[in-house]
Amino acid sequence: MTIIIGVVFGVLLIVLYRLFVTPRRVDAWVSEHFEASAYNLPPREQLDPGRPGPPPSAELSRERRAVAEAAWNGDWNAAARYVREAGEDWDERWTRLELLQHVALEDDAWLDTWRAAEPGDCDAATLCASVTVHRAWAIRGSGYAHEVMTSDMNRFRAMLPEAIELARQAALMDPANPGPWVVMVTAARGAQYGRAQFKPLWEGLVARAPHHYEGHWQALQYWCAKWFGSDRRMMRFARQAVRNAPVGSPLAGIYLHALDELTDRPGAVALPITPLTRSLLKRIAASFDSVAPDDERLPVLRHLLAHYMLRTMMYAPALEQFRAIGPWCGAQPWRSHENPVTAFEAARGVAAKLSGASPAPAPQAHVTEG
């Protein structure tokens, strides 16, 4: 018994040391001695808090700008072609619809013309339904229900059945297209759909696109504790996404959004620092290696992955994520700090110091004899 008590006490001392002594020492080292370039990281002066990752290519930016300008000038055909050219790459098709959604939220006259010209077009009808959902959410805002004015909440709830009906009609126009089902899954929580009502919407979506990223993100919101689920249901859903993520997809990153919801909200619970959590984070990191480097969802996810690896004391893997991130720090969790650059730099420094990585030796000054 004495031996067991001694072992337990020793483990407790190690934990307390890591929790209270080590952080203070590391913080002092980071502020006084950390040189990012010595760890193959961009130096602080290159850090950019304006973006989570590199901007899209010039070609992609030109294409998007041309589609937006054509639509605002009344050419809905360019928008229709832009969506259809994605074919059955449903994630890409949804990304293109999201761009058109932003265009329509500024001016939707072209969308009305498109719907009038092609009343049976699924993409046009889906876009109309999605715009309606986003206009409803703009009225409601992002606050908790008790923070929203009654008049705004009533307008919000009145618009969502219309959006869901528009999406149902769109689904009949192209039964294979998951887009309308993404809209319905998105609107379901605001429309106060119970689990029995939500289930067929989710099943309809995954029957058409079992790994749809946006669809999973919206379903995660439904299953979180502040809507119609619980922490347990949400985390179970997120773990399933990791297990089901196909090669080349960032779908495993849904788990990171679940951790964010779990730990960074009023009354949040502690991050589960368990072998399972660490195993899942390692699996997510490995899955990201197969995602196209120019996937615009990837940088945001890498920031969260680095953050949660740090919080679970996975310092060496976190350092690798910071190296993959590069100089960009305009993402959560750093963006929630008063100075994102300072927060990002401190996190990189902790990862470097505690990873066990050896810094590169400082270059030697060469003295020339005169």
**DSSP codes of every residue in 171-234:** HHH-TT--HHHHHHHHHHHHTT--HHHHHHHHHHHHHH-TT-HHHHHHHHHHHSTTTTS-HHHH
Mean pLDDT, the chain, as a whole number?
Answer: 91
DSSP 321-336: HHHHHTTB--STTGGG
Does residue 303 surpass a pLDDT of 80?
yes
Report whether pLDDT(13) > 60: no
3-class DSSP state for residue 270? coil
Q: What is the pLDDT of residue 19?
A: 45
Report whether pLDDT(23) > 70: no
CA atoms within 13 A on the CB side of 216: 27
Per-position DSSP letters for 247-258, written without gaps between them: TT--GGGHHHHH
Query: Hunting for tokens 């999605």 — which residue is that?
Result: 130
Calpha distance 350→34 (Å, rounded): 9
Q: How far apart (Å, rounded) are the C-alpha atoms in residues 339 and 48?
A: 12
CA 264 centroid distance within chain: 14
State how far the Cα of 58 lies from the Cα of 64, in Å rounded to an integer: 10
Q: What is the pLDDT of residue 362?
A: 62
Q: What is the pLDDT of residue 141?
A: 78
48 beta partners: 328
Residue 366 above 90 pLDDT?
A: no
Q: Are 190 and 160 in contact (CB under 8 A)?
A: yes
Q: pLDDT: is 141 or 335 the higher one?
A: 335
Q: Please, are residues 133 and 166 in contact by the beta-carbon 8 Å criterion?
A: no
Contact between 30 and 343 under an 8 Å Cβ cutoff? The reply is no
As given in the structure block, the two tokens for residue 304 are: 């969260």
Determine if the peptide bond prior to 333 is cis (ω within 30°). Answer: yes
What does the pLDDT look like over 49-95, one tens digit per residue? 999 999 999 999 999 999 999 999 999 999 999 999 999 999 999 99
Residues counted in the chain: 370
CB-based contact 305:321 (threshold 8 Å): yes
- For the stretch 142-197, pLDDT in tens is 777 778 788 878 888 889 999 999 999 999 999 999 999 999 999 999 999 999 99
pLDDT score of 140: 82
Token code pair at residue 302: 């890498």
Question: Do 216 and 254 form a contact (C-beta atoms < 8 A)?
Answer: yes
Exposed, middle or buried: residue 9 (CB in 10 Å: 0-12, 13-18, 19+)? exposed
Its pTM surpasses 0.75: yes
